[in-house]
Amino acid sequence: MIIQQDIIVVGAGIVGLSIALQLQKSGKSVTVVDRKGVAAEASAGNAGAFAFSDIVPLATPGVMSRAPKWLLDPLGPLSIPPSYALKIAPWMWRFWRASWRKHYEASVVAQSELMKVSQSALERQIKAVEGEKLMQREGQLQLYEGLREYNASLSSWDLRKQFGVDFKLLQSPEAIAELQPGIDPRFTHASYTPNWLNTCDPLAWSQHIAQQFIARGGSINVTDVKSLLQVQDCVQLATPNGELQAKQVVVAAGAWSHHLARTLGDKIPLETERGYNTTLPAGAFDLKTHLTFGAHGFVVSKISGGVRVGGAVELGGLSLPPNYKRSDILLRKAAQFLPDLKTGGGQQWMGFRPSMPDSLPVIDQSPKSRNVVYAFGHGHLGLTQAAGTAELVTSLVNGSTPAMPLDAFSATRF
């Protein structure tokens, strides 16, 4: 039996839920379908940060000259498991091209614009769903070990300044301690972004959005969409429980999205950044602000009164088993950098971040189907850009002019 819907959003992570709520707000009847349910993947276990100052892509000029050193360390901040190296080679070639100066500069401009749209959209979303109680407006410290590391970062802060990011540079352990006591004095310099904010718990925030969506008449169904097919003026979705049909479909299924796109004939180079963390219970550390240890590839954030230590980039796809040694390494480093950190009682987690070679998501109509819109590939910025993506996708679905140009986010740019 084929069940016909108005609009189906595939994906109940924070991006898909935000899109569903925004479409609903615009007057559409919306159904969400997801293989596991609300925030069952990356939206549940991320660091909870709205990282609007992170406008610099992973593919920076000269990155490939540094990559071999990282990749040879299986537990370093960027790694590729040997068994996955051949499979990811085409993506790495595109990643290298994205690091060329002209492509990199274009990506920074596009990312900055999307951040501005997303920041204002988030404030509208928080107000619309009465979500301020789930926010922490405590800023962020990015920490540097010594003058050399600090000086190497200054060009990236000059770039952020050009795009209106507010920050303050700190040049002594004493200045750092005024904002966050308890950091090892090896970290002599830092930058502080006061407008950075976090959610108290990314799972709770996603669930809150889902509850608002349901309360306003939406529905969320747990089923695995296997394929999409354009059938006359509708889209047919094949699931184990039968076929669904919708006038329009939005694909926001995170790291699984490119598989659905391929069933329509769209080949999109999406890869999976596997992120690891450990969440420590309340009382583990008196954290005043979000901490970023950029050179070591991890962050420390406050989650529901506890502390979450996580990060790193492991480009390993969806099938390989988790390597929780990566979580252990990050936790040991955090204990060195925060001597008062209590590391007992933690819960480990691994999640899949959907990553494009240029660090920009796909926000576009499918070239193969006029009834399908893509919204995926945000990397580690899905939470950050969810509200902005929702408003942009709603414009595409409704045929109105988006708040910014979307050429840089095209499904065919590769």
- Give Cα 15 to chain centroid, integer Å: 9
CATH fold for the domain made of 1-61+99-133+201-269+358-414: FAD/NAD(P)-binding domain (3.50.50)
User: Would you say residue 261 has pLDDT above 60?
Assistant: yes
Instruction: List pLDDT tens digits, range 57-91.
Output: 988 998 777 666 666 666 667 788 888 888 999 99
How do the domains of the chain map onto residue ranges?
1-61+99-133+201-269+358-414
User: Would you say residue 110 has pLDDT above 80?
Assistant: yes
Residues of the chain with pLDDT > 90, as a percent, come to 86
Average pLDDT over residues 304-329: 91
User: Would you say residue 284 has pLDDT above 70?
Assistant: yes
For the beta carbon of residue 283, count every other beta carbon within 10 angstroms: 11
228 and 263 in contact (C-beta within 8 Å)? yes
User: Would you say residue 158 has pLDDT above 90?
Assistant: yes
The pTM score is: 0.95
Residues of the chain with pLDDT > 70, as a percent, come to 96
Average pLDDT over residues 128-151: 97
User: Would you say residue 152 has pLDDT above 80?
Assistant: yes
C-alpha–C-alpha distance, residues 404 and 216, integer Å: 28
Q: b/e for 230-257, b at 16 or more Cβ within 10 A?
A: beeebbbbebeeeebbbbbbbbbbbbbb
C-alpha–C-alpha distance, residues 327 and 309, integer Å: 8
State whether the Cα torsion 338-301-349-112 is positive or negative. negative
Residue indicated by tokens 């990553």: 355
Average pLDDT over residues 119-127: 98
What is residue 238's predicted lDDT score, i.e. its pLDDT? 96
C-alpha–C-alpha distance, residues 192 and 291, integer Å: 10
From residue 142, how far is each of 145, 188, 289, 290, 331 by CA, in Å? 10, 11, 10, 9, 18
User: Would you say residue 1 has pLDDT above 50?
Assistant: no
What is residue 170's predicted lDDT score, i.e. its pLDDT? 97
Average pLDDT over residues 112-130: 98
Length of the chain: 414
What is residue 74's predicted lDDT score, i.e. its pLDDT? 64
User: Would you say residue 388 has pLDDT above 80?
Assistant: yes
What is the CB-side half-sphere exposure of residue 19 using CA atoms within 13 A? 33
Average pLDDT over residues 381-409: 97
First to last CA, the chain: 38
Q: Which residues contact 118 (CB under 8 A, 6 or more apart)?
A: 52, 384, 385, 386, 387, 388, 389
165: its two tokens: 């990011």
Strand partners, 235: 230, 246
Average pLDDT over residues 390-396: 98
Q: HEC string of the chain? A: CEEEEEEEEECCCHHHHHHHHHHHHCCCCEEEEECCCCCCCHHHHCCCEECCCCCCCCCCCCHHHHHHHHHCCCCCCEECCHHHHHHHHHHHHHHHHHCCHHHHHHHHHHHHHHHHHHHHHHHHHHHHCCCHHHEECCCEEEEECHHHHHHHHHHHHHHHHHCCCCCEEECCHHHHHHHCCCCCCCCCEEEEECCCEEECCHHHHHHHHHHHHHHCCCEEEECCCCEEEEECCEEEEEECCEEEEEEEEEECCHHHHHHHHHHHCCCCCCEEEEEEEEEECCCCCCCCCEEEEHHHCEEEEEECCEEEEEEEEEECCCCCCCCCHHHHHHHHHHHHHCCCCCCCCCEEEEEEEEECCCCCCEEEECCCCCCEEEEECEHHHHHHHHHHHHHHHHHHHHCCCCCCCCHHHCCCCC
What is residue 245's predicted lDDT score, i.e. its pLDDT? 94
Instruction: List pLDDT tens digits, range 171-230.
Output: 999 999 999 999 999 999 999 999 999 999 999 999 999 999 999 999 999 999 999 999
What is residue 374's predicted lDDT score, i.e. its pLDDT? 98
Q: Which residues contact 332 (CB under 8 A, 6 or more apart)?
A: none
320 or 34: which leads in pLDDT? 34
Strand partners, 275: 351
